[in-house]
Amino acid sequence: MPKAPVNGIELYYESHGEGPAIVFAHGRGGNHMSWWQQVPAFREEYRCITFDHRGWGASSDSANPRGRSAFVEDLGGLLDHLGVDRTFLVAQSMGGLTCLGFALAHPERVMGLVLGDTTGGVGDPAVMEAIRDVNPPAGGLGRTLSAGFIDQHPDMAFLYQQIEGLNPELPVNEISPAFRDPSGPQAADLAGFKVPTLLIVGEEDLIFPPKVIRATHELIPGSRLEVVPGAAHSTHLEKPQVFNRLINEFFVQVNAASPAAATAD
C-alpha cells in the first residue's frame, strides 16, 4: 500500500497513468475509492492521483485537528513526495477545503481547479447568506444522493455506503461547520485569483444547493458554473458521464490556453 510520509502522518495514495497530473480529493463520505468512475476515464492521457485525507480510509491521523489547514499542508506534502510540480485539482464536497485552500496558497502549482458540489469553504457574506437557511437531512443516503438515483440504482447506492464504511468512525459534525465559517476565504481573497475554475453542482443538491454554488461562482473571477439535472450532492457518482465530460472539456480548454500545462507533471 503506497503511503507518503507527510506532516507527521502517512497519507495513502494511488497514482495511475502518465501525463499532466490530476489530483482527486474526496468528500467526507468517501475516500480514494470514490473516484472509480473518473480514474479509468482519464488515466490514458493524465496521471490520476487519488488519496485518503488524514483520518480517512487507509491514511493515518494525528492529534492535530483535521480541516482546511492540515489538508492543504498534506496535499502539498503529497505532491512534493510524488515529484509533481503542477496539477489539476478535482474536489468533491469536503475536498473543496483542500483544493481551494491549496490553490489560494499555491496558485503557481495549480493548472485548473474543479469544485464539485462544494463552496470550498468560502466564508464571504454572500455565500453565508445563501447557505443560511439550508437545512439538509442529518443523515442517511437522502442527504447526499438524489431520490431518483437511490430508487433506480440501489446497487450504486449500496456501493456508496460500502465505500463510506471503509473509513474510521468520525464525529458527525467535525467538518460541516467549516462550510458555515465566516472566517473562510472572502471576496477580497478571491479578487485576484487567476486559477481557471469550474464549479459543478447537482440540481438536487440539498447540502449545497445551486443558489449557494452560484454565490460562490460569482466571487471567483472568470469561473464557470454547470448545474447538472438529476444529481444531488455526488454528481461524480450519480452522473459520471456528464461530470467526466465537463471536466474533460475544462482540461482541454485550459491546456489549449496554456500549452505549458500540457507538459506539466
Sequence spans of domains, the chain: 3-263
Rounded Cα gap, residues 146 and 160, in angstroms: 13
Report the run of H or E that residue 146 belongs to, with start and end: none
Which of the residues in the chain have pLDDT under 70?
Answer: 63, 171-174, 259-265
* Cross-strand pairs, 87: 21, 110
pLDDT of residue 116: 99
pLDDT in tens, 114-141: 999 999 999 999 999 999 999 898 888 9
* Cβ-based neighbours of 130, under 8 Å, separated by 6 or more: 211, 212, 214, 215
pTM of the model: 0.95
Q: Which pLDDT score is estimated for 240?
A: 98
C-alpha cell at 116: 464539485
CATH class of 3-263: alpha beta
List residues bridging with 38 in a β-sheet.
none
The DSSP H or E segment spanning 6 is: strand 3-6
d(CA 54, CA 11): 6
pLDDT at 175: 76
Q: Is 45:39 a contact under the CB 8 Å cutoff?
A: no
Q: Among 83, 94, 84, which Cα is nearest to 57's? A: 94
In the chain, the amino acid numbered 86 is R
* Angle (CA) 173 176 182, round 5°: 125
The H or E element containing residue 156 is helix 154-165
Residue 59, C-alpha cell as written in the block: 491514511
Question: Are 95 and 25 a contacting pair, CB within 8 Å?
Answer: yes
